Amino acid sequence: MTQYWCEQAWLGGLEGGAADGVLITVDGDTIGSVEQGVASPPERATRLDGVTLPGFANAHSHAFHRALRGRTHGGGGTFWTWRDQMYRLAGSLDPDSYEELATATFAEMVLAGYTVVGEFHYLHHAPGGAPYADPNEMGHRMLRAAERAGIRITLLNTCYLHGGIGQPLNEVQRRFSDGTAEAWLARIASLAHGPTSRMGAAIHSVRAVDPFSMTVVEWSAGAVGAVLHAHVSEQPRENEACLEAYGGTPVEVLARRGVLDDRFTAVHATHVTSSDIRLLADSGSSCCVCPTTERELADGIGPMAALRDAGVALCIGSDSHAVIDPFEETRAVELDERLASLRRGTHNPADLLTAATSNGYASLGWEGGSIAPGMLADFVTVGFDSPRLAGADRDDVAAAVVFGATTADVRHVVVGGEHIVRDGAHRSIDVVRSLDSSVRRAWAAVMG
């Protein structure tokens, strides 16, 4: 049994205030008890100065995209020209280089305050599409990378069958595809949950998965109660092609195939219609928004307030990892809304923290994201001893943290009761050196 004494802790709810002197007792990997008003830390309890929050959930990640940061931002273009650059990188990775890059990327997430990640995993096979000797070699490498980094993972094993609606796969996309949904299902059948891992499913998009195959993926996820994610309406061109081919929007096509339910998360939903929003809300689906990627790729600003007002639970993801910072991702939900609406204060700071924590955990199939008995012992401590938070209102920590903090303010990260980040340093990984070496190795392969 382990105890952590928190100078302050945000325990959730609509209000932004935090409780003083909170003692968290950990039993195994879960929280056994939470006691408020404890004036000083008991003997042998670990002291956490600052404000302790539930761990952040990164509900949408492509780990290998981290190597694109700082290398694909100039020169103009569109999402589609950026995708060509991403494909060059995807075509060059092997299991060893991908595991090295993913380990460093996941470790960066933990330093930033993320305690669980949903890895939207579609880089399955060797170049040209031939399976590895272990057909799930790349998936196993993702699980190992997360374990080494000290972060929980939901491996969202992605079905990817077509190069676009009615289009063949290109050379790089063959690495992503099992050929049929039935072959995808047969491949992933041997994967199983672990203590810090969960298996989920994903439909890459309406571009890459035909309606019949969507049904196979949905059935397989539903049979085992797994969560199911899909890229939805990230680009107007995607909507136009879907309407022309299927006579409906991506959300409408997914609804017709029975995909929408309370296990489903629509990723992006940047260009959904009002009727799409009603379908998502009525089915109990959630939505993962990725504001830093959506702005980096010029995707647009999604109708986040309309989704929330309809009852669609929002969560966040860092997607392409142009930025790995849950505070920036969280406040961008509100700040981007201000740009679109010319109005301030649409999203309550406490609601934003809930989206970034417990909503994200639920989207990924975990009982966590809140500091309460029975929840996973995953939490993050932010210091108030930095230029960013100096003088901040300690009576409204939700607003102070959401609008003032950055990853540089993360002092401690606990996952499953284990102290992974202590005083801003990872317990076992030199994150800067690991990122530098893994990114350079990945691009050396691209350049031949």
Residues recognised as catalytic: 268, 319
Query: How far is Cα 22 from Cα 144, in angstroms, rounded to an integer?
Result: 34
Query: How far is Cα 144 from Cα 278, in angstroms, rounded to an integer?
Result: 39
CA angle 318-130-188, nearest 5°? Answer: 55
Which strands sit side by side in the sheet containing 418-422, from one edge to the other?
Answer: 30-35, 19-27, 2-9, 46-54, 379-382, 410-415, 418-422, 425-426
Residues 6+ apart with CB under 8 A from 385: 50
Ranges of beta strands (E only) in 269-409 are 286-289, 313-316, 379-382
Residue pair 139/157 in contact (Cβ under 8 Å)? The answer is yes
* Nearest Cα to Cα of residue 427 among 107, 47, 55: 107
CA angle 104-58-331, nearest 5°? Answer: 115
The amino acid at residue 124 is H
